[in-house]
Structure 1
Amino acid sequence: MALRYQDVVVADLSPLLNASELWQKMGKRFAELKEDYEKQVQRALANGKWQGQAFTAHQNSSAATASEYAAAKTEALAVASLLKQAHTELTRLQKAVKDLVADAEEKNYKVDGSGRATYIGFSKLSAQEQNALHHDPDYPKLVAQAQQAAQEWTDGIAKAVRAVDEADQGVKRALIRAAGFGGFNAHAEGDLAKAGAPDISATRADGWKIKTTGPGLGFTATGSPSYGKEGRLKAYLDLGHVTAERSLTDGPADVSVIADAYAGARATANYGFSDKGVNAAAEISGGGRAMVEAREDKGDILYYTRAEGFAGVEGGVTAKATKDEVTVGAKRFSGGKTSVAGGFEIAGIGIGGTAEGWAGAGAEAKWGYMKDETTGKWELGTKAGFSGPLGGALGVEITVDPHKFSKAVGHAADAVGDTAGSVKRTISSWF
């Protein structure tokens, strides 16, 4: 959630400095522990009196431990540096917001708790001055100018608040990247500008649009299971995510290609009950997956083909019943799988299929239909599979686009009408 004006002006940033000092002490302490461990354990036992496989195994494990102490020192000092720089940068930007508000108030603009400015200069005039002003021919113009200036102050304050939020998001990215994944981070970056830089997204000269994200670590919890609300829990550890897209336009064809690769672990849960219906779902997965898809989105016949590979573990259950969706399903799998899928669409009716090969233990079954709120399409699909250690799954999907279908029917009816009229005119000409 983006920071609001009130969040910015009331924030106490001093704990960042306190935390930075504690992380700095922690880094120094890890350095001392590493030195003591190497001296008291590694070197003490490497005096030649202990030999054999047990000694070799101990030396290997102790070297790993010493490396972890060194990595812990690097990570702690990096975090200390990031927190200190964050305090400096956020304090500067917070002051910029407060200075802007002070300037506005000095010029007779009142700023409310949401950051909106209102001109109050007229209210400070005496009753006689206000009466004279109301009879001034330029009064409407003066009011309009004051309102315009108030909006400019409001926009300026909002822009300054966004700058604080963007810096805050950068600090978040930097701290997440500094955290170790499966151990302490021996390569933690202590420069806030580098570590907090946004994820890369660029279009190359050859037309490929590349986006990379990660590593990332986080947890979110939104909503509540009370009536009219939906709750969502999400925890993730993203090691990396790369997406590449390109459109290949050639005459009547308009083919888009997308390639996607991801490594990490995720767990999500949704639950809720409202006037739209009920739903409950939970899913967890960990490992790596890659996918490539080609799609034709222009012309009378549309099609898609897709290939995907996955290695890891996954599981989940889904149950949902609303006016636009009914879905039930469950899955459990551990191992590797490959899948190919393809389908086509004519006159708004689409048919697609999926075939998967599994190397690992698992089972999956799902069925449901739903309306895509973005495209207006209705989708009906089912999928089932089982593996022993070898097996697979098959799936079918049918889509209906009411708008395209009705349009195609209308064109067909027009064509039939035109043909019938032509036949009638031809027969009439014979007589």
Structure 2
Amino acid sequence: MALRYQDVMTTDLSPLLDVSEAWQKMGKRFGELKGDYEKNVQRALANGKWQGEAFAAHQDSSAATASEYAAAQKEALAVAGLLRQAHTELTGLQKAVKDLVTEAEAQDFKVDSSGKATYVGFDKLSAQDQFALQHDPDYPTLLTRAREVAREWTDAIAKAVRTVDEADQGVKRALTRAATDPSAAVGALSGFNSHAEGDLKKAGAPDVVATKTDGWKTEGKVTVTGPKLGFSVNDGPKSGKEGSVKAYADLFHITAQGSASNGPVKLSGSADVYGGVRATANYGFNEKGAVAKAEMSEGLRAMAEGRAEYGQVGYYGRAEGFSGTEASINAKATKEEFTVGSKYFYGKKGSITGGFEAAGIGIGATAEGWEGPGEEAWWGLKKDKETGVWKLGGKAGASPRIGGAVGLEITVDPHKLGEAADEVADAVGDAAHSVKNTVRSWL
């Protein structure tokens, strides 16, 4: 919701400094906690007297905890800096609005609670002077000019208020980004933001959206995270939740997305590059269904995908590469997924997928080449949580040393399918109306 004139004039910005000081103290305290934890927990238990798998698991967990303390310190100090800068910027812009009002009032313009200026100089004249002015031949011109100047003051004040609102929106973006773990956007566990930006100008900048003069509209986004460690255990299944164990050590994760559209034509692409180690396990049985899944992977992975669409028709292609080790086994039966499969692979693999889509229904095929031992078999139906697209497919392959896999995928996008149905209904209605008019013309 945009700020109004009255909001700008009456808001007390001084609490921003108090809150900034509290965040500064919090950041300092997190730094102290990190130091105490490393000294009294990590190093104290790493004196060589404790060995074995339990010790190794503890060291991994404690490293993740220390990392979170460091990230918490970074985030808190960034927020403190953003709040200080926000106070300075917003205070200056608020003063600019108030100075405009003061200047307008000094020139006999009254500004109401909505920021509208009205000339009241004529009201200050004596009754005799007002009578003489109203009978002056130039009075209509003077009255018109006073109204024009009043509109100029009103516009200038409104523009200054919009400047405050834009700055306020920038502060909101900066604080939201500082308090958000960017790795969570690409599937990692959410934690404190170890990459929090403390520069208000950088952190509060709007997302990049460019519009070309030739009718093409483009937008894009690049996200870079890592290195980062994480570990969590949910001791389900109970209270309707799945049990889960997650651990990861991300060296880096880079994602990029972009699109260009011009009327019914849309071109889009995405790329994803990841390096690190991940292991997850989910299990449980509740009202949503049954889940048993475990997977592990370590190595380098890269993917690039491109799509070309014209209205309800589109083509897509995808290329993927992997180098490392991966293994998984899963069986899942829920409202949004029914899948079974397993795989194991060690070495290098590359795959190419291509497909065609019309009216929200798509069909594609995958071919993979493997260098290294492995096997894979997968089949199922599942719904993408982000896009809502249903995918039915399967893949199978094996390689003692050199081999590969083939797969098939069928996708259904309910949103696009609904749009296509609406277009068909409209076309049928128009055709029926045309036939009706033609028959009438014959009678």
TM-score tier, shorter chain, comes to 0.5 to 0.7
Mean CA deviation greater in 177-186 or 388-397: 388-397
Match of 2:361 among 354, 360, 371: 354
Cα distance in 2 between the residues matched to 1:54 and 1:210: 52
* In the alignment, structure 1 residue 341 sits paired with structure 2 residue 341: no
What's 1:259 paired with?
268
* In the alignment, structure 1 residue 304 sits paired with structure 2 residue 313: yes
What's 2:260 paired with?
245
Distance 1:385 1:170, change over 3 A: closer
What's 1:35 paired with?
35
CA contact (8 A) 2:380 2:392 kept: no
Aligned counterparts, 1:27-426, within 5 A: 27-181=27-181, 182-202=190-210, 209-212=217-220, 242-247=257-262, 256-259=265-268, 292-295=307-310, 304-305=313-314, 307=316, 332-333=336-337, 340-342=356-358, 352=359, 354-355=361-362, 360-362=380-382, 397-398=420-421, 399=423
Letter of the structure 2 residue corresponding to residue 244 of structure 1: S
Cα distance in 1 between the residues matched to 2:169 and 2:47: 51
SS in 1 for 2:309: strand
Letter of the structure 1 residue corresponding to residue 128 of structure 2: Q
Cα distance in 2 between the residues matched to 1:384 and 1:69: 40
Cα distance in 2 between the residues matched to 1:28 and 1:116: 47
Distance 1:125 1:176, change over 3 A: same
Cα distance in 2 between the residues matched to 1:162 and 1:258: 35
SS in 2 for 1:212: strand
Distance 1:186 1:93, change over 3 A: same
SS in 2 for 1:202: strand
SS in 2 for 1:71: helix
Distance 1:191 1:384, change over 3 A: closer
Cα distance in 2 between the residues matched to 1:241 and 1:167: 28
SS in 2 for 1:142: helix
Cα distance in 2 between the residues matched to 1:166 and 1:30: 33
Cα distance in 2 between the residues matched to 1:122 and 1:359: 84
TM-score normalised by L of structure 2 = 0.59
SS in 2 for 1:70: helix
Q: Gaps (5+ residues) in structure 1?
A: 216-238, 248-253, 264-288, 297-302, 310-330, 343-351, 365-382, 414-431
Cα distance in 2 between the residues matched to 1:105 and 1:206: 47
CA shift, 1:292, in A, is 2.7
Q: 1:253-307: CA deviations, max 9, x gaps?
A: x9723316699xxxxxxxxxxxxxxxxxxxxxxxxx98734227xxxxxx73255
Identity %: 55
Cα distance in 1 between the residues matched to 2:133 and 2:355: 77
Q: 1:131-169: CA deviations, max 9, x gaps?
A: 111111111110111011000000000110011001001
Distance 1:98 1:262, change over 3 A: farther
Cα distance in 2 between the residues matched to 1:334 and 1:115: 60
SS in 2 for 1:183: coil
Distance 1:241 1:171, change over 3 A: farther
SS in 2 for 1:162: helix
Cα distance in 2 between the residues matched to 1:58 and 1:33: 18
Distance 1:305 1:186, change over 3 A: same
Q: 1:151-193: CA deviations, max 9, x gaps?
A: 0000000110011001001101101111132011111110101
SS in 1 for 2:50: coil
Mean CA deviation greater in 113-122 or 55-64: 55-64
Q: Gaps (5+ residues) in structure 2?
A: 182-189, 224-253, 273-303, 319-334, 341-352, 365-377, 396-407, 439-443
CA contact (8 A) 1:308 1:340 kept: no
Aligned residues: 306
Distance 1:246 1:108, change over 3 A: same
After superposing on structure 2, the runs of 4+ consecutive aligned residues of structure 1 that deviate more than 4 Å are 203-209, 260-263, 306-309, 333-340, 356-364, 383-396, 400-406
CA contact (8 A) 1:362 1:388 kept: no
Letter of the structure 1 residue corresponding to residue 310 of structure 2: R
Cα distance in 2 between the residues matched to 1:158 and 1:61: 54
SS in 2 for 1:115: coil
Cα distance in 1 between the residues matched to 2:80 and 2:166: 20
